[in-house]
Amino acid sequence: MHIEIVTPDKNLYSGEVSLATFPGSDGKFGIKENHAPLVATLKEGKIKLVDSSNQEQFFDVNGGVVEVNHNKIIVLAE
């Protein structure tokens, strides 16, 4: 899946991942390939990305919105 994490100041990350987990307003949730379309709000916490070689990356966010559609994830983060 392709993911883009964007803040008002810059693009934090753009690339391919096999798993992404988010600090959702209603609780932590994960996205894998072929996930159903989704729009959700985020609270303060860490976004975790796992690539195809199981390398993990973490990004701190203070909130935001995530949209999932057709194996593309867009995060508008604060």
Determine the pLDDT at residue 11: 95
Whole-structure pTM value: 0.92
Q: Which amino acid is at 64?
A: G
Q: What is the mean pLDDT of the chain?
A: 96
What is the CATH number for 50?
2.60.15.10
Instruction: Name the one residue in this structure whose structure tokens are 């932590």.
Output: 28
pLDDT at position 48 is 98
The whole domain housing 53 covers 2-77
Q: How many domains does the chain have?
A: 1
Q: How far apart are CA 12 and CA 28, in angstroms?
A: 21
Structure tokens that stand for 70 in this block? 């057709």
Q: Is 25:43 a contact under the CB 8 Å cutoff?
A: yes
Contacts of 35 (CB under 8 A, 6+ apart): 68, 71
pLDDT (average), residues 12-30: 96
